[in-house]
Amino acid sequence: MAGLAILKRIYLAVYNWVVFAGWLQVLYWAVQTLRTSGYEAVYAAVERPLQFAQTAAILEIFHGMFGLVRSPVSATLPQIGSRIYVTWAILWSFPETRTSPIVSSLVLSWSITELIRYSFFGMREAFGITPSFLQWLRYSTFYILYPTGISSEVGLILTALPYVKVSEKYCLRMPNRLNIAFDNYFATLFTLASYIPGSPYMYTYMIGQRAKALAKAKKSA
């Protein structure tokens, strides 16, 4: 159905550019604040656009599930999962982490990566062009930005750990009628552990994607 295909394209074009605008704000305010006030104030300056842009990404899981985009859910889920976790379960839930310098490295890594990614897809959906420079950026900057982003995520979770333990936030204790308990400290440790297999998996996935993209570009050149 041609109509459906056009609708899908308009939706994806709008989605990508709107989220791009969100990340642009994040980067702008992060850089501005670093220049004027210093790293402790970065979170406060970027909080709203960051939460908006990062949470919107949840839609991408459904894009993959319903075949709107080709990305497999197995690659999008861990990425979005860790981002949402750090944004809400760490930064928003534990204000003590917000003044850390790691927030700056996190926000810069995320925003630069996402600006490249969303503009790349936005160009493709809205204008049908895939500028080779953008494509090169998309499949090369991750070599640096994935390690810096992942280390920042892990660093912030580690920073939050003592506060997680002491505050008992989100913990569910027994006895209760449903005979269920949840220990946030244990869960946080488990999440940290998941970065050990998770990071190489995501990194090598991107390396594979890069090889595929470059091979395709070579063939059509």
Partner 1 sequence: MLVTVTSRSRKEVVKGGIQLSENATVKDLKASIHKRTGNLYPERQRLSLPLISGQTPPTVLDGDKRLCDVFPEGSNHIVILKYLGPQVKYSTLFFFEYVGPLFIYAMFYFLPLYKFVGLPEKQVIYPVQTYATIYWCFYYFKRIMETFFVHKFSHATSPLSFVFRNCCYYWSFAIFIAYFVNHPYYTPVGETQMYIGFGLGIICQLANFYCHNILKNLRDPKGQGGYQIPRGFLFNYITCANYTTEIYQGLGFNIATQTVAGYSFLVVATYIMSHWAAFRCLVQK
Residues that bind partner 1 (CB under 8 A): 174-181
Compute the least distance from the CB of residue 33 to partner 1, in Å.
Answer: 42
Nearer to partner 1, 56 or 181 (CB): 181
Nearer to partner 1, 47 or 183 (CB): 183
Nearer to partner 1, 1 or 178 (CB): 178
Compute the least distance from the CB of residue 172 to partner 1, in Å.
Answer: 10
Nearer to partner 1, 109 or 188 (CB): 188
Q: Of 39, 47, 146, 170, which one is the catalytic site residue?
A: 146
Q: Of 60, 114, 125, 153, which one is the catalytic site residue?
A: 153
Compute the least distance from the CB of residue 162 to partner 1, in Å.
Answer: 17
Compute the least distance from the CB of residue 174 to partner 1, in Å.
Answer: 4
153 is catalytic: yes
146 is catalytic: yes
Q: What is the 3-state secondary structure (H, E, C) of the chain?
A: CHHHHHHHHHHHHHHHHHHHHHHHHHHHHHHHHHHHCCHHHHHHHHHHHHHHHHHHCCHHHHHHHCCCCCCCHHHHHHHHHHHHHHHHHHHHCCHHHCCCCHHHHHHHHHHHHHHHHHHHHHHHHHHCCCCHHHHHHHCCCHHHHHHHHHHHHHHHHHHHHHHHHHHCCCCECCCCCCCCCECHHHHHHHHHHHHHHHHHHHHHHHHHHHHHHHHHHHHHC
The catalytic residue positions are 146, 153
